[in-house]
Amino acid sequence: MQTKILLPEAQMPTHWYNVVADMPTPPDPYLGPDGRPVPPEAMAAIFPMSLIEQEVSAERWVAIPEEVREALRLWRPSPLYRAHRLEAALNTPAKIYYKNEAVSPAGSHKPNTAVAQAWFNKQAGIKRLTTETGAGQWGCSLALAGQMFGLEVRVYMVKVSYEQKPYRRSLMQTWGAEVFPSPTEMTGAGRQILAAHADSPGSLGIAISEAVEEAAGREDTNYALGSVLNHVLLHQTIIGEEAKKQLALVGDYPDMVFAPCGGGSNFGGIAFPFFADKAAGKQVRLVAVEPSSCPTLTRGVYAYDWGDAVGLTPLMHMYTLGHDFMPPGIHAGGLRYHGDSALVSKLYNEGLIEAMAVPQLETFEAGVLFARSEGILPAPESCHAIAATVREAQECARTGEPKTLLFNLSGHGHFDMTSYDRYLSGELENFEYPEAAIKESLQHLPKVG
């Protein structure tokens, strides 16, 4: 009874898949504050042209450079698992597979795009990258990638996380990155915040402002983002491409694919390559799973909004809860985002993918069940996909239908043990659906044009 379906390195995908090529209607352009499309060149202050081209490309296949493939081979192809023990624990006729992205050195899918972004920046002559990080998953991944290609990396880490999650900070430093608690005195944005609130705990919005400001102001420095943007989702499609090859090795194909969805790179990474088949007429359901407390797709509106909290980015057409919506402090930090990828949003708006929201306690219950049956301790973000899969597998147990289910195990939870601690000791609660807060923040959507 085979547990792991391994793909030889020689069969690792050579191209990323660009879902834009198969979308019925093209993505809507990013807009400036004047309501006019932002020209690609306008992004050149912080991104290399190669990545900007990927951002606006409609080509179906984009070649993965050999140096990037060599870096990816440190952990890729990642194994596909058949979850025999989870199936037995659920007593379900469903077949459950999961793609294990926790095997990367940083412990999640994030390095897939970090190494690509680092390499393309290196090729463009860039010496330094700046970025923000909250819990630290993305900062770690970029620190690792920068180290691999000889780029300096500076991470603005939300101050409260910097203090509460010292291990992720140490990991970034071990990989050679500079890490500063944001807000800092090193940028105008940081100084402005500190002048008003000397004891500001920081926020992702502030950290983004600092990282972007520094990158925009220095010739040798660019900025890197860990999700949301088209080129980031593109780099993650290697996950779904590998999963398709691995399922083919055992003669299987999923009826449903589940992934956690915050900014969308995790979901896009595994789901888009299956969307290519769906666009060609194949039956497959693609389900984005979000927290009930930050229900962007299931309760937000489809509108133009800023990608950050303070209006520094272009306007993107996406599902949003409002750029100043402050999600409750759920433990799946990677899913605490007010908006969503424009590509994921468009597909959802056109009814081509599905979305569901799961409450926090159900996600941890599923995560503990998974850890106890499959051994691996999942990241709180990944627990959302597990919970959705468990729901469906239980439904199969009721109906007797032997569906084939696939989910993306986006990362391990080795640095999230305080969340498990709180769950196991009964301290965690489900947050109420934040209706009033969403209603309030949706009133602040920008007027376009």
Element (H, E) at 129: strand 128-133
> Does residue number 147 form part of the binding site for its own copies (CB under 8 A)?
yes
Q: Is 14 in the site for its own copies (CB under 8 A)?
A: no
Contact (CB, 8 A) for 330 and 315: no
Residues 207-246 that bind its own copies (CB under 8 A): none
Binding to its own copies (CB under 8 A) within 173-192 occurs at 173-176
Residue with tokens 């290609």: 149
- Closer Cβ to its own copies, 8 or 281, answer by number: 8
Residues 6+ apart with CB under 8 A from 386: 363, 366, 367, 369, 370, 378, 407, 409
21 binds its own copies (CB under 8 A): no
Quick one: 351 or 375, whose CB is closer to its own copies?
A: 375
Q: Is 8 in the site for its own copies (CB under 8 A)?
A: yes
| Cβ nearer to its own copies, comparing 174 with 399 | 174
Shortest Å distance, C-beta 150 to its own copies: 11
The reply to whether 148 sits near its own copies by the rule CB under 8 A is: yes
Token readout for 177 is: 């990155």
Side chain identity at 56, as an amino acid letter? V
Q: How far is CA 85 from the centre of its chain?
A: 27
Closer to its own copies by CB, 421 or 432: give it.
421
Q: What is the DSSP letter of 149?
A: H
SS3 of residue 447 by DSSP: coil
Question: From the list 101, 132, 362, 374, which residue makes contact with its own copies (rule: CB under 8 A)?
Answer: 374
Is residue 430 within the footprint of its own copies (CB under 8 A)? no
60-99 residues near its own copies, rule: CB under 8 A: 70, 73-75, 85
Scanning 101-109, 152-160, 259-267, 348-356 for contacts with its own copies by CB under 8 A, the matching segment is 101-109
Taking the C-alpha atoms of residue 164 and residue 169, their distance in angstroms, rounded to an integer, is 10
Single-letter amino acid code for the residue at 110: K
In this chain, which of 44, 45, 62, 103 binds its own copies, going by CB under 8 A?
103
Interface with its own copies includes 251 (CB under 8 A)? no
- In contact, 330 and 336? CB cutoff 8 Å: yes
Q: Can you tell me the distance from the alpha carbon of 183 to that of 202, in angstroms, rounded to the nearest whole number?
A: 6
Q: In the set 35, 37, 125, 166, which binds its own copies (CB under 8 A)?
A: 166
Per rule CB under 8 A, is residue 326 in the interface with its own copies? no
Nearer to its own copies by Cβ, of 54 and 360: the residue is: 360
Question: Which lies closer to its own copies via its Cβ, residue 122 or residue 317?
Answer: 122
179 half-sphere exposure, CB direction, 13 A CA radius: 28
Alpha carbon of 137 to those of 70, 124, 245, 314, 414: distances in Å?
Answer: 22, 25, 27, 25, 11
Taking the least distance from each CB to its own copies, the nearer of 148 and 309 is: 148
In the complex with its own copies, which residue's Cβ is closer, 305 or 374?
A: 374
One residue of 321, 357, 376, 390 binding its own copies per CB under 8 A: 376
Q: What is the DSSP letter of 198?
A: T
Going by their DSSP bridges, the two strands 221-223 and 354-358 should be labelled as unpaired
Contact flags string 384-423 toward its own copies, x per CB under 8 A: ------------------------------xx-xx-xx--
- Least Cα distance to 363 among 413, 317, 401 occurs for 413
Buried b (16+ CB within 10 A) or exposed e, 113-131: bbbbbbbbbbeeebebbbb
9 belongs to the binding site for its own copies (CB under 8 A): yes
3-state secondary structure of 58: coil
∠ at Cα 432 (430, 437), nearest 5°? 140
Among 86, 116, 171, 208, binds its own copies (CB under 8 A): 171
Which of residues 285 and 422 has its CB atom nearest to its own copies in the complex?
422
**Closest separation between CB of residue 419 and its own copies, Å?**
9
Whose CA is closest to 260, among 122, 407, 125? 407
Question: Toward its own copies, which CB reaches closer, 103 or 216?
Answer: 103
Residues that bind its own copies (CB under 8 A): 1-4, 6, 8-9, 70, 73-75, 85, 103-107, 144, 147-148, 166-167, 170-171, 173-176, 368, 371-372, 374-377, 414-415, 417-418, 420-421, 424
